[in-house]
Amino acid sequence: MTTQKKVDLATWLASKGKEDASNKVTSLSSSSTDTQYPSAKLVYDELADKLDASDVPTKTSDLTNDGDGTNAFLTSHQDISGKEDTSNKVTSLSDSSTDTQYPSAKLVYDELADKLDAADVPTKTSDLTNDGDGTNDFVTKSTTSGLIKNDGSIDTSTYLTSHQDISGKEDKSNKVKSTAGWSSTTSDDNYPSEKLVKSALDLKANSADLATVATSGSYADLSNKPTVDTTITDGSTNAVSGNAVYDALALKSDTGHTHAASEVIDSTAHSNLETAANATQAAINTAIDTKIGALLSIELITVVAELPNASASTMNKMYLVAESSSKTNDNYEIFVTVRTGTSGSYSYAWEKVDTARLDLSGYVQKSAVDLEIVNDELILTLD
């Protein structure tokens, strides 16, 4: 009698720890599933445009500062050199007031309240009342006490009837008392107060106190010059020479660089496939085909009169050896091969599992089993 049983190929391969080739995908999308697996080329293409961990910036000196003052990143400290210190604001004036202090708006208002507007100030002699008595027509000069008449006496009750000669006098309105009055457009008509000149000079360094570089302008005269690395070193805070950057980039591949599938290598050694590290895809495919072929033709149970040498070829099989004692022939000792060590230097040895009494008369012989794949289904035929 011939018996056939259909076995789902995907289920059978999965039970053997193998992937179904129909699950291999060459592109990724939001509909990708955990059942699918990517091709080596797809993995390579996805990684091609990714940065190496060593190329990812880890500190601010690795970045280009493109701050323009309108974003959240400061490019320099605020300039407060033109700002007043609020502690210098005063609300009253006295003879101890200084050029450093400045009045509040209310103080200015109060001080101006009793002052005449410019329009109300006399600007010509006709706006004045001449209360001279006619005896001071001839005045030789004036003082702060009054007019000195031609007879030498001082008249403190009368006023000048003609202008004084001020052609050799400075206009006080041109005097500046703080650096706020200085600018690139300052006129030659302006003149600084003595205090302002001294204060400005106090801020300047004497030429004898200057370093050599201040007058030579030579980089060689600088002290504490920065250290420049000629090679890129992890963790270094020094500046890097342009040649070092060029050399480092020369060791990198362009993002558009590609490899054929046969050139892609696996950096990991797989002991189950017996492939070495950096094996090519072609070598991996050959190893997989060899393993699958061995699975399809493997004898799981082998009856022998004497055990062969333990090796890779005896792995994953049970060997039945007839007991040495004079008993019936259906008494056997069971042995399996045990592997120890690491890839490339494995050691193999026999391990006795148990003693079994087996009757194989009802089992199907290998020659009576036919295994074939039809329309992606595994067909098992028994005669």
- d(CA 133, CA 34) in angstroms, rounded, equals 119
Region 110-135: what's the mean pLDDT?
A: 69
Which pair of tokens denotes residue 95? Answer: 């003879």
Of the two residues 30 and 185, the one the predictor is more confident about is 30
Which pair of tokens denotes residue 65? Answer: 């500062």
Q: What is the DSSP string of 35-59?
A: S-EE-HHHHHHHHHTSPPGGGS--S
- The answer to whether the CB of 347 falls within 8 A of the CB of 341 is yes
Q: What is the DSSP string of 220-262?
A: GG-SSPPPEESS--TT--SEE-HHHHHHHHHTSPPTT----GG
Residue with tokens 């079994």: 356
Of the two residues 101 and 128, the one the predictor is more confident about is 101
Could you tell me which of 374, 343, 372, 370 has the C-alpha nearest to residue 382? 370
Highest mean pLDDT among 105-119, 199-213, 258-272, 335-349: 335-349
pLDDT grade for 128, boundaries at 50, 70 and 90: low
CA 345 centroid distance within chain: 45
pLDDT grade for 307, boundaries at 50, 70 and 90: very high
Tell me the one-letter amino acid at 331.
N
pLDDT digits (tens, 9 = 90+) for 190-248: 778 888 778 877 878 887 878 888 888 887 888 877 788 888 888 888 887 888 788 87
Rg of the Cα trace of the chain?
Answer: 53
What is the predicted pLDDT for the residue at 350?
Answer: 93
- The answer to whether the CB of 232 falls within 8 A of the CB of 244 is yes
Bridge-based pairing of strands 331-340 and 228-229 is: unpaired
Highest mean pLDDT among 128-132, 268-272, 326-330: 268-272
- The answer to whether the CB of 322 falls within 8 A of the CB of 296 is no
In this structure, the number of other CB atoms found within 10 A of the CB of residue 136 comes to 20
- Residue ranges of the domains in the chain? 1-18+300-383, 209-249
Region 125-133: what's the mean pLDDT?
A: 61
